[in-house]
Structure 1
Amino acid sequence: MSAKELTILGETILPGQGKTLNMEIARLHTMTKLKVPVIIERAKVDGPTVLFTAGLHGDEINGTEIVRQMIARNINKPRAGTIICIPVVNIFGFVNQSREFPDGRDLNRVFPGSKKGSLASRFAYFLLKEIVPHVDYAIDFHAGGASRFNAPQIRIVPNDANLKALSEVFNAPFTLYSKNIPGSFRSACSKLGVKMLLFEGGKSLDINADVTQEGVRGAKRVLHHLGMLNPKKNLRLAERPTICIETSAWMRARESGLFQNPTKAGQFVTKGEVIACITDPFGKYEKKVRAPHSGYIINSNDSPIVYEGDAIFHISVKMG
């Protein structure tokens, strides 16, 4: 719960105050400082502390747009408790439009980090030390990589009733059960007792309006559920229950070629249905791609060219 005084990065934020702080972890090789803005808004009424993060991978811009809209529309100003927003965690990768940190490491695989480790490891350590101990709930926004488009979805660990209930409140089109990956931000937060939802939607280096609105609306529902949403903000109620997916499987290309893909993420397909086509560039052959089983397409490859063995569809197998 929010204390009367909240001190982050050496700054004290009182109830009713809002501040933008800057995390300064290191410099570029040009000696240029890169600051990571941390936007904090507190209500006068006590309540939970919720953290919204995006851009852990610097090229996943859709998540940044979701958090940006929450700030621009004053959704991050709570009626109770505290909301912390970090729209771009990996500012280094964001500047370079790349997934990794400048040291070549994936920030989402080095948690809990180390005070004297690599650049990415030091940043992970600093984030867990300075920000996360104040947090009760978190939503971390991601997007698909390598031209693969994720249908809007929440990912939670299996057999956690609290997270399951929270995912139902968020009400993304899909909820996927997936174990915590060692070294991930989600895993580190879980070990510290933070209830985190991981949102996936869209693809890297892209902003999709539908995905953005799913993210913003879901975050608003969670804030409303926690008694934190400003009553002046319109709340769109869920129109359908989230579809829970216990298991899913990747489908891979059997040939290399031009990928003709009319099937969108989120679509339901039936076993044997033609969902794409792989052709050569010279008009000599066309190979039909058929669904190996019935299920929802939760990730679809948007690349115009694929190679044999490339992941082209992620399809649900078993519903919860």
Structure 2
Amino acid sequence: MPRRVPRPSFEIGPVRVRAGRRQSLSLPITRLVTGADVDLPVQVVHGREDGPTVWVDAAIHGDEAVGVEVVRQVLAGLDPKALRGTLIAVPIVNVLGFMNGNRYLPDRRDLNRSFPGAPRGSLAGRVAHLFMTEVVDKCEVGIDLHTGSDRRTNLPQIRADLEDARTRELAAAFAAPVMLHARLRDGSLRHAAREHGAKVLLYEAGEAWRMDPWAIDAGVLGVRRVLAFLGMTDPVDEEPPQPSAVSWRSGWVRSRGTGMLHLEARLGQHVSEGERLGGLFDSFGKRVRLVHANRTGVVVGRTEAPLVNSGDAVVHIAEVDD
């Protein structure tokens, strides 16, 4: 019987990870005024058997904690000796922002508008370039984990280019309650990664700077389902999961007045155009105005702000296919 040839080691940064092993490493980003180094934390799980190379990342925005816990739990459940393929995990991309609970980098740039970056550009551009060259360029598929921003919370959902057949298959495998067709934005990780040939899913769930258990659980299960769909792990569901509702259009209901907001609409609730979603009240409790749905669909996001001004976004509704 011929001797089995071991799978080659995986090269990333200054290290080589042997097949059937996991290894953590740090990729240099910058140096603080104190002289301390700031590094990008990475863990590679390099399976014994051949298979796809996939990345999962979180905290591109420094105030998004849910994805960090999702990555931790996914890694804890992986056995490199049984994995087919390679997983690159980056739990905190925006390290400087995360340390301060700040969505942006110290240069006030949005990292998710700074891709693909440049090795001698701004701080955001340098982080983006490092991530592209050391992570994205080595992978076929990526899962980018996010939460709501600006005191908003999101229903677990996948945002992706649903017009691309392969990307839609991956989104369906994740099986979030909703998968939403989302256009690509210049400077985003999704846009830059697609230009480099990778398929990317963007997971949205929960609220910034919170550890919402329901958002974490749905994210962990979704990532595991995608890895199983790609043949990297064994199936995670005994029964097929509930298919995602598909949405090609969505929009925010905006406040038509200023006041204290009392929302009745819940995440995941199906609403009809014109349906009452809540109301605005002044400081004495007098109702100023009602909030109504501007379309029929599923509530996929809502503000958690107690006070809203005229024109503020309050409820995000996705129109879904029957």
Q: Where does 1:263-278 land on structure 2 (aligned, <5 Å)?
A: 263-278=265-280
1:303 aligns with 2:305: yes
Q: Which amino acid aligns with 1:139?
A: I
Gaps of 5+ in 2: 1-5
C-alpha separation in 1, matches of 2:238 and 2:299: 25
Deviations 1:163-183 (A, max 9, x none): 111111111100000111100
Q: Which residue of 1 aligns with 2:178?
A: 174
C-alpha separation in 2, matches of 1:237 and 1:138: 25
Q: For the Cα contact (< 8 Å) 1:220–1:235, is it kept in 2? A: no
The TM-score normalised by the length of structure 2 is 0.94
Please report how far the alpha carbon of residue 72 of structure 1 lies from its aligned counterpart in structure 2 after TM superposition: 2.9
Q: For the Cα contact (< 8 Å) 1:257–1:306, is it kept in 2? A: yes
1:287 aligns with 2:279: no
C-alpha separation in 1, matches of 2:162 and 2:220: 24
Aligned to 2:60, what secondary structure does the other structure show?
coil
Q: For the Cα contact (< 8 Å) 2:302–2:315, is it kept in 1? A: yes
Q: Which residue of 2 aligns with 1:40?
A: 44
> Against the structure 1 CA distance between its residues 77 and 214, is the aligned structure 2 distance closer, same or farther, given a 3 Å change threshold?
farther
> Against the structure 1 CA distance between its residues 219 and 77, is the aligned structure 2 distance closer, same or farther, given a 3 Å change threshold?
farther
> Against the structure 1 CA distance between its residues 214 and 40, is the aligned structure 2 distance closer, same or farther, given a 3 Å change threshold?
same
Q: Out of 104, 111, 114, which is 1:107 matched to? A: 111
Q: Which amino acid aligns with 1:272?
A: G
Q: For the Cα contact (< 8 Å) 1:70–1:76, is it kept in 2? A: no
1:74 aligns with 2:67: no
Q: Which residue of 1 aligns with 2:3?
A: none
Q: Which amino acid aligns with 1:90?
A: N
Q: For the Cα contact (< 8 Å) 1:149–1:203, is it kept in 2? A: yes
1:224 aligns with 2:221: no
Q: Which residue of 2 aligns with 1:7?
A: 11
Aligned to 1:35, what secondary structure does the other structure show?
strand
Q: For the Cα contact (< 8 Å) 1:36–1:88, is it kept in 2? A: yes
1:183 aligns with 2:167: no
Q: Which amino acid aligns with 1:279?
A: F
1:312 aligns with 2:314: yes
Please report how far the alpha carbon of residue 234 of structure 1 lies from its aligned counterpart in structure 2 after TM superposition: 4.7
Q: Tell me whether 258-267 or 183-192 shows the greater mean CA deviation.
A: 258-267
Percent identity between matched residues is 36
1:139 aligns with 2:139: no
Please report how far the alpha carbon of residue 238 of structure 1 lies from its aligned counterpart in structure 2 after TM superposition: 4.0
Please report how far the alpha carbon of residue 76 of structure 1 lies from its aligned counterpart in structure 2 after TM superposition: 7.4
Q: Which residue of 2 aligns with 1:201?
A: 205
Please report how far the alpha carbon of residue 14 of structure 1 lies from its aligned counterpart in structure 2 after TM superposition: 1.7
Aligned residues: 317
C-alpha separation in 2, matches of 1:269 and 1:76: 45
Aligned to 1:303, what secondary structure does the other structure show?
coil
> Against the structure 1 CA distance between its residues 226 and 157, is the aligned structure 2 distance closer, same or farther, given a 3 Å change threshold?
same
C-alpha separation in 1, matches of 2:58 and 2:152: 18
Q: For the Cα contact (< 8 Å) 1:49–1:83, is it kept in 2? A: yes
Q: Which amino acid aligns with 2:178?
A: F
Deviations 1:78-117 (A, max 9, x none): 5211111111111111100010011110000011101111
